[in-house]
Amino acid sequence: MSVAMKRKTVITENVEIAKDIYSMWLNAPDISREARPGQFVSLYCRDRSKLLPRPISICEINKEQGKIRLVYRIAGEGTREFAGMDAAEDMEAMGPLGNGFTLEGKKALLIGGGIGIPPMLELAKQLSCEKQIVLGYRDITFLEKEFEAYGKVYISTEDGSRGTKGNVIDAIREESLDADIIFACGPTPMLRGVKAYATEHKIKAQLSLEERMACGIGACLGCICKTKEVDHHSNVKNKRICKDGPVFYAEEVEL
Amino acid sequence: MNTSVTLAGITFKNPVTTASGTFGSGMEYGEYVDLSRLGAVTTKGVSNVPWPGNPTPRIAETYGGMLNAIGLQNPGVDVFINRDIPFLRKYDTKVIVNVVGKTTEEYCEVVERLACQDVDMLEINISCPNVKEGGIAFGQDPRCVFEITSELKKRAKQPIIMKLSPNVADIGEMARAAEAGGADALSLINTLTGMKIDIHRRAFLLANKTGGLSGPAVKPVAVRMVYQAANAVKLPIIGMGGIASAEDALEFIMAGASMVAVGTANFINPTATLEVVEGIEAYMGQYGIEDINDLIGCVK
């Protein structure tokens, strides 16, 4: 694999698909060639007072056209700047970064929560086994129709406006879903719930974590997660989410 | 054109190194930069035993800068000696090892373990704002600076650089204390203690509450402190604090730094160190400067 250099890419589309949720396609052949589901890219703000790159998970990869899709939420001033950009504008990006999901299993549960949903789309595309897709939202839904081509979709909303009222685990229990592999990405409380569910049902689970990052390449040690065993690189019970992750087996990490 | 500089008897091919903690032990950035192009690699702080560091979040962005509270996570001196020194020795660059501890004894232990190792200089971190004991506690009292410097100087086989904190009223006083203790060189600045509050969550951004401010926002403070330290002592100085370009680096050199370190800029641009090296050469070419040493402290 070649090194994920910082590169100029070109925005080909950037549209709001739900309130404060944007879908951006980047013409980025070098990134799309190497990218795997579950990896992320670092995007750089033009306003240099915002120093640090923003890590955004890859939602879709189109290797034929040399493009990648990012679906992101306006979470602060950096992502607000991205949301204001138009097609044909340049975007500085570095990637793909991180390890990505390992494709495995015969019957899978794909669980996405909030802005953890986008990376599950490319995973759903590339995973060839039977798929059940559980998407958890606070209220407003997005991307759910695009998942329908790849498996049965179950929805949970906190306010009960769509699907099961509650969280993704409530939906899984309500629908009595079973699987031999779980893939999950979402906020830490959700991942904690997924880990507990996977442990209880003895299902192998891959969890994609997030944390505030600086370098994105494993040097600054800003984005660590606690691990069960001593990690060979850090020599303490910490792994780097950007470099060793963001995807970990549930039993490896303490959430 | 001569870009080489000599500090404490060690000659560096150019005046550019990395700021401790921003470059690991070079492995990650070795994929982006030919480490042999750098004057030196300064490693992340090394302690006597592995340190797990602080809880997360450890990082918060601020206007033109960032706060970090990593807490000096590091694998300990044994792993460092067995893994990181051999890695760095594959490159044609000097190796400066940053040393951390919670007590004088811990600093001494690391310095003694490194005494027989193939490293060029030791940088003693008495200025980390993110650990409760040690670190900055040694760096804010001139008597402590003098004592720890002289204790380490007795044991060190390599020249020692004392890394000073900007969180003091009089940097010149600290610089003189290190010089009196026998330091071979100084480096400054470490980060400025800062804080950020998330008004929506009504909570601190960092789990550690406070963190060290770095990045372009701190550069004018750093240039001023390098100038003051350079005027207070005869020791050579490694200047750092917000350097992201050759222009930034040259300010420090003209203020009196014999070397410069690129830190936070590595996180934003993995090839920043190399761009600083090349940019300094370009500046020298542009102005017909034959020897970089002619620029050191040239602005009085």
Q: For residue A16, is it within any domain?
A: yes
Residue B22 per-residue DSSP state: S
Let me know whether A180 and A208 are in one domain.
yes
Q: For residue A151, is it within any domain?
A: yes
Q: Is pLDDT of B135 > 80?
A: no
The count of domains in chain A is: 2
Let me know whether A72 and A124 are in one domain.
no
Instruction: Give residue B139's pLDDT band: very low, low, confident or very high (50, 70, 90).
Output: confident
A224·B66 Cβ contact <8 A: no
Q: Is pLDDT of B133 > 70?
A: no
Let me know whether A152 and A206 are in one domain.
yes
Which of A48, A77, A97 is a domain's end point? Answer: A97
pLDDT at B192: 96
- Phi, psi (5° rounding) for residue B78? -65, -50
Nearest CB to A217: which of B28, B50, B79? B28
Please indicate if any CB of chain B lies within 8 Å of the CB of A187.
no
Please indicate if any CB of chain B lies within 8 Å of the CB of A235.
yes
**What average pLDDT does this structure show over B181-188?**
98
Let me know whether A84 and A11 are in one domain.
yes
Q: For residue B110, is it within any domain?
A: yes
pLDDT at B134: 63
Secondary structure string (H, E, C) spanning A168-185: HHHHHHHCCCCCCEEEEE
- Residue A62 lies in domain: 6-97
Q: Tokens 């090394």 appear where?
A: B46
Q: For residue A76, is it within any domain?
A: yes
Please indicate if any CB of chain B lies within 8 Å of the CB of A215.
yes
Q: For residue A1, is it within any domain?
A: no
Let me know whether A180 and A246 are in one domain.
yes
pLDDT at B127: 83
B266·A237 Cβ contact <8 A: no
A223·B264 Cβ contact <8 A: no
Q: Do the interacting molecules here have an ipTM over 0.85?
A: yes
Let me know whether A93 and A116 are in one domain.
no
Nearest to B110 by CA among B298, B102, B249: B102
A219·B28 Cβ contact <8 A: yes
Let me know whether A129 and A234 are in one domain.
yes
A51·B53 Cβ contact <8 A: no
Let me know whether A207 and A239 are in one domain.
yes
Please indicate if any CB of chain B lies within 8 Å of the CB of A93.
no
Share of chain B above pLDDT 90, in %: 95
The count of domains in chain B is: 1
**What average pLDDT does this structure show over B163-181?**
96
Written as one letter, the residue type at B178 is A
pLDDT at B96: 98
Give chain A positions within 8 Å (CB) of B66. Answer: 51-52, 214
Candidates A5, A47, A51, partner chain B, best to mutate (most B CBs within 10 A): A51
Report the gap between the CA of B207 and the closest CA in chain A (Å): 12
B70·A44 Cβ contact <8 A: no
Please indicate if any CB of chain A lies within 8 Å of the CB of B9.
no
Which of A57, A78, A97 is a domain's end point? Answer: A97
Nearest CB to A211: which of B51, B56, B65? B56
Please indicate if any CB of chain B lies within 8 Å of the CB of A211.
yes
| CA atoms of A83 and A20, how far apart (whole Å) | 8
Q: Tokens 């193939």 appear where?
A: B118
Cβ atoms of A72 and A24 closer than 8 Å = yes
Dihedral sign for Cα B256, B72, B130, B154, please.
negative
Please indicate if any CB of chain A lies within 8 Å of the CB of B243.
no
Which of A47, A70, A97 is a domain's end point? Answer: A97
Residue B74 per-residue DSSP state: B
Nearest CB to B73: which of A212, A215, A238? A238
Let me know whether A156 and A196 are in one domain.
yes
Give every CB contact of residue A110 below 8 A, 6+ residues apart in sequence.
A120, A123, A124, A127, A131, A132, A133, A134, A151, A183, A184
The token pair that represents B155 in the structure block: 């044991």
Rg (CA), chain B: 18
A214·B215 Cβ contact <8 A: no
Let me know whether A151 and A180 are in one domain.
yes
CATH number for position B275: 3.20.20.70
Give chain A positions within 8 Å (CB) of B216. Answer: 48, 51
Calculate helix-pair angle for B142-155, B171-180, nearest 10 degrees: 30
Q: For residue B223, is it within any domain?
A: yes
Q: Is pLDDT of B163 > 80?
A: yes
CATH number for position A224: 3.40.50.80
Q: What is the pLDDT of residues B246-256, one digit of tens each?
A: 999 999 999 99
Report the gap between the CA of A126 and the closest CA in chain B (Å): 29
Report the gap between the CA of A78 and the closest CA in chain B (Å): 11
Q: For residue B299, is it within any domain?
A: no
Instruction: Give residue B132's pLDDT band: very low, low, confident or very high (50, 70, 90).
Output: low
Please name every residue paired with B115 in a beta bridge, in sequence order, or none if there are none. Answer: none
Q: For residue B206, is it within any domain?
A: yes
Active site residue B116: no
B267·A211 Cβ contact <8 A: no
B116, B128, B144, B298: the catalytic one is B128
pLDDT in tens, chain A (255 residues): 457 889 999 999 999 999 999 999 999 999 999 999 999 999 999 999 999 999 999 999 999 999 999 999 999 999 999 999 999 999 999 999 999 999 999 999 999 999 999 999 999 999 999 999 999 999 999 999 999 999 999 999 999 999 999 999 999 999 999 999 999 999 999 999 999 999 999 999 999 999 999 999 999 999 999 999 999 999 999 999 999 999 999 999 999
Q: What is the pLDDT of residues B220-238, one digit of tens each?
A: 999 999 999 999 999 999 9
pLDDT at A1: 46
Residue B28 per-residue DSSP state: T
A219·B23 Cβ contact <8 A: yes
| CA atoms of A20 and A117, how far apart (whole Å) | 15
Give chain A positions within 8 Å (CB) of B21. Answer: 220
Q: For residue A102, is it within any domain?
A: no
Calculate helix-pair angle for B142-155, B104-114, nearest 10 degrees: 30
| CA atoms of B98 and B26, how far apart (whole Å) | 13
**What average pLDDT does this structure show over B84-111?**
96
- Residue B225 lies in domain: 5-294
